[in-house]
Amino acid sequence: MKVSAEILNLIPYKTGKPISETKREYGLTEVYKLASNENPLGPSPKVIAAIKNALDQQHLYPDPVCHDLVHKISEKWNVPTTQIGVGNGSNEIIDLLIRIFCEPGDAILTSQAAFVAYQVCAQAARVKVRTVDLKPDLTMDLKAIADHFFRNPTAKIRLIFIPNPNNPTGTSVGGAELEEFLVRLGNRDDVLLVFDEAYTEYVRNPEFKAAAQFYQKYSNVLVLKTFSKVYGMAGLRLGVILAPEYVLEFYNRVRNPFNVNDLAQVAAIAALEDEDYIAESRKVTWTGLDYFYKELTRLNLPFFKSDGNFILFDTKRNAQTCFVNLLKKGIILRPVGNYGFPNYLRMTVGKAFENEKAIEAIEKMLAEIPEIS
Ligand SMILES: *Cc1c(COP(=O)(O)O)cnc(C)c1O
């Protein structure tokens, strides 16, 4: 069978290494995973109760329009129901947006070291990926992205993806830069601006503004939200898109009718109700980040301050070697060589004792692997 060059060369998204696999491969009984930016608190007790309560209806197909969930989101986030779409994680939404709005040979534009899902989905759809360099402080350069768009009118750039805060860097773009970007590119009818706001609940940068708060002023601004991070539901798979009606009309035409399963729907309604859990998740994350800042400073390892629930730090060594060394100690972190950081690891904030275990293991590792001079 003939397969396109894009598919032949496609490097699939590399997920965090599972705990079970690490236990098996290294004969360990105690393993901590700080690799996938999951919420360390486990699901909200309200989510668990809602799921248990819905188990006896699982022989039925789920509600294809997610009526109750969409109304709950509308109420909690103050967005009209007609501007809310749902997906099997934001990953599915990214995939569908590219398939809907790009033809093979068209392009998407994003930043270097942006969340890699955009690239994987684009390549699978035979869509080109154009990137603009990060600034030296690893924040995205929105001005350069807008400049790139205007300088390349024949590149057929249909979608611009802005993950804010970004993963794996943890950096965010300030409100002034965002607004300037929107003044230049907002309300155009030849390009959609997709703000991927998976981590906004964790942001402490006082300059930050979420596009979710004012996207309605623009006809071409889309916002992606996820239930995988602060809502603690990564395993249930739920992403949300806030978008103008005409975008959602196409989106709902193309998506699988039952893309969001029933347990995810009831769970998300419960998660949206549990504001204490959200507050606790943020507190645990911020405390953990401050602990990492202190300890990485003590260990003399450079890092970037994070507006997410994870931190990117420089091991000053080959990060793949460090990653394997830490696996043997029962700590799963995330190498990010595929993003252009061969010496860096990304570490998710865990519970306090998990964070301490991770730092302990890193300290031992530093003594075992010589620094690159
Ligand atoms: C984790 C993450 C998501 C969430 O993806 P899901 O498919 O909803 O689990 C989206 N965008 C970014 C930048 C992320 O880091």
Ligand 1 site, residue 234, Cβ cutoff 6 A: yes
Q: Residue 5 — pLDDT band, cuts 50, 70, 90? A: confident
Ligand 1 site, residue 196, Cβ cutoff 6 A: yes
Q: Taking the CA atoms of the chain, what radius of gyration do you get in angstroms?
A: 21
Q: In angstroms, what is the span from residue 109 Cα to ligand 1's centroid?
A: 18
Mutate to test the pocket of ligand 1, among 95, 196, 200 (most ligand atoms within 8 A of CB): 196
Q: Give the nearest ligand 1 atom to 114 CA.
A: 13
Question: Mean pLDDT throughout 297-308?
Answer: 97
Residue 7 neighbours by CB distance under 10 Å: 10
Ligand 1 site, residue 88, Cβ cutoff 6 A: no
**Which has more pLDDT, 178 or 16?**
178
The residue whose CA has the least distance to atom 14 of ligand 1 is 198
Q: In angstroms, what is the span from residue 27 Cα to ligand 1's centroid?
A: 31
pLDDT score of 373: 75
The percentage of residues in the chain with a pLDDT greater than 70, rounded to a whole number, is: 100
Q: Residue 214 — pLDDT band, cuts 50, 70, 90? A: confident
Q: In angstroms, what is the span from residue 115 Cα to ligand 1's centroid?
A: 8
Q: In angstroms, what is the span from residue 160 Cα to ligand 1's centroid?
A: 16
Q: Give the nearest ligand 1 atom to 196 CA.
A: 11
- Taking only the tens place, the pLDDT of each residue in 82-121 is 999 999 999 999 999 999 999 999 999 999 999 999 999 9
Ligand 1 site, residue 115, Cβ cutoff 6 A: yes
Q: Give the nearest ligand 1 atom to 165 CA.
A: 13
* Alpha carbons 203 and 80: distance in angstroms, whole number: 25
* Alpha carbons 114 and 133: distance in angstroms, whole number: 10
- Taking only the tens place, the pLDDT of each residue in 135-155 is 999 999 999 999 999 999 999
Q: Residue 213 — pLDDT band, cuts 50, 70, 90? A: confident
Ligand 1 site, residue 116, Cβ cutoff 6 A: no
Q: Give the nearest ligand 1 atom to 308 CA.
A: 15
Q: Residue 183 — pLDDT band, cuts 50, 70, 90? A: very high
pLDDT score of 11: 83
Q: Give the nearest ligand 1 atom to 168 CA.
A: 15
Q: In angstroms, what is the span from residue 259 Cα to ligand 1's centroid?
A: 16
- Taking only the tens place, the pLDDT of each residue in 255-282 is 999 999 999 999 999 999 999 999 999 9
Q: What is the mean pLDDT of the chain?
A: 96
Q: Give the nearest ligand 1 atom to 163 CA.
A: 13
* Alpha carbons 289 and 276: distance in angstroms, whole number: 20
Mutate to test the pocket of ligand 1, among 167, 173, 222, 349 (most ligand atoms within 8 A of CB): 167
Mutate to test the pocket of ligand 1, among 229, 231, 336 (most ligand atoms within 8 A of CB): 229
Q: Residue 322 — pLDDT band, cuts 50, 70, 90? A: very high
- Taking only the tens place, the pLDDT of each residue in 331-364 is 999 999 989 999 999 999 999 999 999 999 999 9
Residue 241 corresponds to which tokens in the numbers above?
């898109």
